[in-house]
Amino acid sequence: MADFGAVGRADASAERIPVAVLISGRGSNMAALVAAAQADDCPYRVVLVAANDPDAGGLAIARTAGIATFALSHKGMARAAFDAVLDAEIRRAGAEWIALAGYMRLLSPSFIAGWTGRIVNIHPSLLPLYKGLDTHARAIAAGDTEGGCSVHIVTPELDDGPVVAQARVPILPGDTPDTLAARVLPAEHALYPKTLAELVRA
Ligand code: GRF
């Protein structure tokens, strides 16, 4: 009997929703998204990893995984001009969704307008608490007993778009921003691929 297994797998891959991942640094969330995409039933595939810092550590992870990369320093470029280059690269790669994974640049309103509802971000706090930086230090300073992470749709305001999913972790006596970050990060790595899969399936 003919074996159509390989054909079936190729078709399934072609049907997966193409996603671009934007990073600025080590890229551990990007790596989690890429690892999850190895599963046969993952509904997305990562077609591009782009960075605004050519030294971003995550670029090497992406290259090793065989994923196309694009890196350009934003330094010396106007935000809108930089974002226009980025937008063109993402569209050239065929992406239909964008996942921000430690991307430390505000995207310009015109960029976001071209992707309304299809840019997602992970943020290391229980939004709407602690938008911006130093989230873990702020949660500890406030005396919170829980921290966590949120996946949200990106809108022009920083860390402000609709929250799609959250994961919670305890904040323990004696926690420092580093120990709390180390507890939240694995929760991010579990939450982000699962949530992105749900979003692109919807
Ligand atoms: C993560 O904590 C993420 O929530 C935040 O920036 C950090 C990026 O880490 N937006 P990594 O580059 O994914 O390891």
What is the Cα 48 distance to its own chain's centre? 12
Q: Which residues pair with 49 in a beta bridge?
A: 21, 69
Q: Same domain for 112 and 134?
A: no
Long-range contacts of 70-79 (CB under 8 A, 24+ apart): 74/105, 79/105, 79/106, 79/108
Task: Give the predicted TM-score (pTM) of the model.
Answer: 0.94
Q: What's the CATH number where 81 sits?
A: 3.40.50.170
In testing the pocket of ligand 1, which one of 98, 122, 136 has its CB within 8 Å of the most ligand atoms? 122
Separation of 64 CA from ligand 1 center, angstroms? 20
One domain, residues 173 and 79: no
Q: Are strands 146-153 and 119-123 parallel, antiparallel or unpaired?
A: antiparallel
Instruction: Give the range of the structural domain holding residue 198, as residue numbers without chain letter.
Output: 122-202
pLDDT value at residue 14: 65
Give, as one character, the DSSP assignment of residue 16.
S
E runs forming strands in the chain: 17-23, 44-51, 69-71, 97-100, 119-123, 146-153, 163-170
| pLDDT at position 12 | 60
Ligand 1 atom with the smallest distance to the CA of 181 is: 2
What token pair was written down for 135?
């989230």
**Do 101 and 44 share a domain, yes or no?**
yes
Give the residue from 116, 133, 149 where a domain finishes. 116
Same domain, 26 and 103: yes
**Active-site annotation holder among 123, 136, 152, 189:** 123
Q: Whose CA is nearest to atom 2 of ligand 1?
A: 124
- What is the pLDDT at residue 2? 43
Measured distance CA(67)–CA(55) in Å, rounded: 17
| 61 shares its domain with 102 | yes
Domain final position from 116, 146, 166: 116
Task: Give the nearest ligand 1 atom to 149 CA.
Answer: 4
The reply to whether 63 and 160 lie within a common domain is no
Known catalytic membership, residue 189: no
How far is the C-alpha of 19 from the C-alpha of 44, rounded, in Å?
A: 7
> Same domain for 86 and 19?
yes
Q: What is the DSSP string of 53-108?
A: STT-THHHHHHHTT--EEE---TTS-HHHHHHHHHHHHHHTT-SEEEESS--SPPP
Q: Both 96 and 155 in a single domain?
A: no
| φ and ψ of 82, to 5 deg | -60, -45
pLDDT average per 10 residues of sequence, the chain (202 residues): 46 82 98 98 98 98 98 96 98 98 97 98 98 98 98 96 98 98 98 98 95
pLDDT of residue 69: 98
pLDDT at 5: 46
What is the whole-number distance in angstroms between the Cα of residue 185 and the centre of ligand 1? Answer: 8
Residues with CB under 6 A from ligand 1: 23, 25-29, 101-102, 122-124, 149, 188
Nearest CA to ligand 1 atom 14: 28
Q: Which of 97, 116, 135 is the last residue of a domain?
A: 116
Q: Residue 31's pLDDT is what?
A: 98
Say yes or no: 106 and 129 in one domain.
Answer: no
Q: What is the pLDDT of residue 3?
A: 45
Return the residue whose CA atom lies nearest to atom 10 of ligand 1: 102
Same-domain pairing of 131 and 104: no
Same domain assignment for residues 92 and 164: no
State the burial class of residue 102 (Cβ atoms within 10 Å of its Cβ: 0-12, 13-18, 19+).
Answer: buried
What is the total count of domains within the chain? Answer: 2
What pLDDT, on the 0 to 100 scale, is given for residue 135? 98
* In a shared domain, residues 86 and 133: no
